[in-house]
Structure formats: C-alpha cells, structure tokens
Amino acid sequence: MLLTMTTIHAPATDLGFLLHKHPDRFQSFSLSVGKAHVFYPEARADRCTACLLLEIDPVAMVRRRGQDQPPLLDHYVNDRPYVASSLMSVAMSRVFGTALSGNCQHRPALVGQAIDLSATIDVLPVRGGEAILHRLFEPLGYEIEATRHPFDEQFPEWGESPYYSVTIRGRKTVSELLRHLYVLIPVFDNEKHYFVGEDELEKLLAKGEGWLTEHPEKEMISKRYLKYRSSLYRQALDSLLDESEQTTSEVSWTPRREESLEASLSLNEQRHGTVLAALRASGAKRVVDLGCGEGKLLRELLKEKQFEQILGMDVSVRSLEITSNRLKLDRLSEKKAARIKLMHGSLMYRDRRLEGWDAAAVVEVIEHLNPPRIQAFERVLFEFAKPTTIVLTTPNREYNIVWESLPAGSFRHADHRFEWTREEFRTWAKDISKRYAYHCRFISIGPEYENYGPPTQMVVFERVSAS
Ligand code: SAH
C-alpha cells in the first residue's frame, strides 16, 4: 500500500526537511513485518511529492503472531499486504517519527506552519462506506475525493468492495496531517490491530492531542481504534473528557457521552420493549418465543401477569441451558414455574407443541435461516402453528452503512445468512400475509435515518379468520 503526500507550497522541496527524508534519495527501512520505502517521484520548487510504500511479508506477519496460535490459512491469505491498515501507522511512526512529533531541529519555524497539503491513500478499506470518510475527515477541515473499487472489474456482479482510493486536501502542518492519518487509517479499516497492546491508549492520546477532543466523532474513533476493548475505550473517553473540560469549561460533555453510549447499547432493549408492547396490545395470554436465544424477552414476559402461559423454543440446547440458569427456572415458585416452559425444537419442522398459541415472537431469528429453507419456516409458522398474532423483527440492511460498530463484512452477525432492505422485508411480509390470510403492519425500531431507515424493522401479523 502506498501513501502519497504532495505540497505546492513554495518552496515545495521543504517537504524533505519536514519529513526528514532527503528528496534525492530512495530510502528503505526494515520493519518486523516487511519493508517500508520512501521516495520522491517529483521534487520541484513548485510541487513536491513524497511516497511511503509498504511491502508486507505475510509469512513474517504470521511468525510474529507468536507460537501460541496455530497459523490458519487466513493468516497467510488476506487483504493485509495490500491495504492501508494499522501496519501503515506502524510504518509511519518508524519512518516519519520526528515529523509526527512535530520536531525539526534545522528549521523549527517551518514545523508550525500550515501549508497546502494533500495526501492520497491507496488502498484504504473503509468499513461503513463513504459516509464514514466524510464524518471523520470533514470536521478536521479536509476536502475529500474518494473512488470506490469494485471487487473485480472482470466480475461486476460481485459488486463494490469496501476498498477506496482516497485523497484529502487541507491547509495543515505536516505533523497534523501525519497524526490524523496515523489515528484514522486503522479506524477506517476497523480490523483488529496486529500490534494492539496496552500502550495503544497512550498512542491514541498522544497522536490525538489537539484535535481528538474537539472531534464530533471522538467516541467512534476511540472505540474503533481500541477495537472495542471497553476498559481502554472508557479510559480514553475519560481522558478526552478531562482535556476538554480544561479547554472548554462551558461545554458539558457528560450527558452527551452517556446519551450516545446508551443509545448504542440499548437497541436490544428497545427491540424487546417494542415487541412486548405489540404482544401486550394483541391481548394474547399464551405466548411462544421462537428462537428465544438466552431468554431476554422471556424474562420480560414473565414480569407481566397478562401472559399466563409462556413457551421459549430454540434450536440451540446451549442457549436453552443459559436461559434456564438465567431465569433460575429450577428455583421459581410453583405458581411461576407453571407459567413458563422451554423446549428444544427447530423452526424448520412442523411441531404440534407449537400449535394453538395466541401469539408468537420471532425476534432476530429469520436472518439466521438458510434462504432455501425459508419456505419450510413459513409453512411451520403460518400454515401449521398459525398463532393469532405474530411479531417478527429482523435487521434493516440499508442501515448498515451508518452502523458505526459494524464489524468487517456486510452483515451484522457472522451467522446471518441474509439481511433484508425495507422494501424486501415488506414485499416478503405482504406476500406471506396474502398467502396465509393475515393482515400485516410495520413498525420501525431504533433511531431512523432519512435515507436508510431504522436499524431494526418489525412486522405484526394478525390472522384474519379464526379458522
Ligand atoms: N430472539 C433472541 C435471540 C436471537 S439470536 C433475542 O432477541 O435475543 C437467533 C436465535 O435463533 C439463536 O438463539 C438461534 O439458536 C435461534 N435459531 C436459529 N435457527 C433456528 C431454528 N431453525 N429454529 C429455532 N431457533 C433457531
């Protein structure tokens, strides 16, 4: 991967002083995972360009992982040698360490001067799409140009990849530009750092000094940079909070921080709350939770007297064990114990125990089913079990683009077999309603974006006749 930096600020060859690398030389540096090269394709008084080229050796990278992990194929065959990732940040600090820290013994006045700079990164993986590029670079005052690459030009049907060529332009000191890139390149990539360690937090705070505190997306940046290690992430937020209190005492950070943390934490609760409300409104007394997982909804159902009979069903015995322990089913009073039962079963097979219930909840389950088997599921639920009310939720794929903590890959969970857009979901639900004589209505769950809709979509089916 290649990082290219250009200035037209005369005399442009000053870039050589600022980077501490002579424009006439081609220099190479050994890294533990490969080599970094610095060279200047052009070095004139009116325009000067420096390149940092990284050559990653995948075998060295695997060896570096240590003896405790057996090497797997994907340790050798992956995108790491070809994309800008945390390895680029490692190379930047090795090769441009002095420039990053903003030192220049020979020309100290030069270092603090903001000049017209541009930087191009080939190739940058951006998890979360182009919107993330704008959200992270624009508050820092950069103009952005991004070209998205298809997976393979020969096979346009494979669609667009998460890889971009990105150029940013702004009036910055060289040290600012390097520090922004050092922190943000791994943030866009959002993969696990190869070198993540306890000192990662210090690096973030040091390289983020003077800009991260003010950045509106500082939470996403810290979270992704520290790759969800929540203890480090919270420490980072606390440190950023201290810093901002010193400089802008009238700005209150605490409520905003809590609000947005809570917002990202509580989607699951919002989902269960909305499902519960729909079940309550249906008047159901006997409810079955299909694919009940670890029993979060069951716990809520148990709290409500309206639900006289509750059944939790899942294909995973392990989940049922966890549910049983969590709800302490073996220690419930006789009266409560008579209200709830768990059963092992699959939504793929007709099961008489699922017949005759007032309502069924199917929360975040359908996307785990294999598409060719969806028809079997439809018959099991709508033709045989046919409860009066069915409340079903599933992710809205359109929202993934704004889902900041979306892991690499296009689905939210490794076990998701598909995710529907709003249109696909509605088409499916309307079609099924017609075929099995149900009415349906749709409800959004979670914060809605104008173009992408909500993170979770829900449908409530009501059976038309009691037949
Ligand atoms: N409804 C729960 C869990 C969702 S995770 C919640 O909202 O928290 C999806 C669940 O569906 C998992 O527990 C998984 O074991 C279950 N599941 C997947 N395929 C299934 C099938 N064929 N039959 C029943 N459950 C299934």
10-residue averages of pLDDT along the chain (467 residues): 92 92 91 86 95 80 53 57 77 88 77 93 87 94 90 68 90 95 89 59 81 88 74 61 39 29 58 91 96 95 94 91 90 88 92 96 94 92 97 91 58 80 96 96 85 90 81
292 Cα: distance to centroid of ligand 1 (angstroms): 6
How many angstroms is it from 441 CA to the middle of ligand 1? 23
Any ligand 1 atom below 6 A from CB of 348: yes
pLDDT for the residue 58: 67
* Nearest-10 crossing angle of helices 218-225, 230-247: 150
Centre of ligand 1 from the C-alpha of residue 328, in Å: 20
Check pocket membership of 178 for ligand 1, CB cut-off 6 A.
no
Tell which atom from ligand 1 comes closest to the C-alpha of 293: 13
Q: With CA atoms as reference, report the closest residue to 357 among 293, 303, 443, 290.
A: 290
Nearest atom (ligand 1) to Cα of 361: 1
CB 236 near ligand 1, within 6 Å? no
**For ligand 1, is residue 347 a contact (CB within 6 Å)?**
yes
- Shortest-distance atom of ligand 1 to CA 362: 1
Of the chain, the end-to-end C-alpha distance in Å amounts to: 65
Ligand 1 contact, 274 CB (< 6 A): no
Rounded distance from Cα 227 to ligand 1 centre (Å):
27
Q: To test ligand 1's pocket by mutation, which of 289, 365, 377 has the most ligand atoms within 8 angstroms of CB?
A: 365
Among candidate residues 396, 450, 404, the one with its CA nearest the CA of residue 129: 404
Q: Residue 53 C-alpha to ligand 1 middle, in angstroms?
A: 47
CA-nearest of 170, 184, 233 to 212 is 184
Domain limits, CATH 3.30.1610.20, in the chain: 2-194
For residue 314, how far is its CA from the centre of ligand 1 (angstroms)? 6
Homologous superfamily (CATH) for 256-463:
Vaccinia Virus protein VP39 (3.40.50.150)
The predicted pLDDT at position 67 comes to: 47
> According to CATH, where is 3.40.50.150 located in the chain?
256-463
Q: Please report the pLDDT score of residue 56 as a whole number.
A: 79
Q: Say which CATH topology domain 2-194 has.
A: c-terminal autoproteolytic domain of nucleoporin nup98 (3.30.1610)
Query: Secondary structure of the chain in the HEC alphabet?
Result: CEEEEEECCCCCCHHHHHHCCCCCCCEEEEECCEEEEEEEEEECCCCEEEEEEEEECHHHHHHHCCCCCCCCHHHHCCCCCCCCCHHHHHHHHHHCHHHHCCCCCCCHHHHCCCEEEEEEEEEEECCCCHHHHHHHHHHHCCEEEEEEEECCCCCHHHCEEEEEEEEEEEEECHHHHHHHHHHHHHHHHCCCCCCCCCCHHHHHHHHCCCCCCCCCCHHHHHHHHCCCCHHHHHHHHHHHHHHHHHHCCCCCCHHHHHHHHHHHHCHHHHHHHHHHHHHHHHCCCEEEEECCCCCHHHHHHHHCCCCCEEEEEECCHHHHHHHHHHCCHHHCCHHHHCCEEEEECCCCCCCHHHCCCCEEEEECCHHHCCHHHHHHHHHHHHHHHCCCEEEEEEEEHHHHHHCCCCCCCCCCCCCCCCCECHHHHHHHHHHHHHHHCEEEEEEEECCCECCCECCEEEEEEEECCCC
Ligand 1: does its nearest atom lie under 6 Å from the Cβ of 93? no
Q: Measured in angstroms, how far is the CA atom of residue 315 from the centroid of ligand 1?
A: 7
Instruction: State whether the beta carbon of 257 lies less than 6 angstroms from ligand 1.
Output: no
Cα–ligand 1 centroid distance for 319 (angstroms) = 9
Tell me how far the alpha carbon of residue 366 lies from the centroid of ligand 1, in angstroms: 8
Q: Is the CB of 365 under 6 A from ligand 1?
A: yes
Residue nearest to atom 23 of ligand 1 (CA): 346
3 CB less than 6 Å from ligand 1? no
pLDDT at 235 (0 to 100)? 62
Whole-angstrom distance, CA of residue 183 vs CA of residue 181: 5
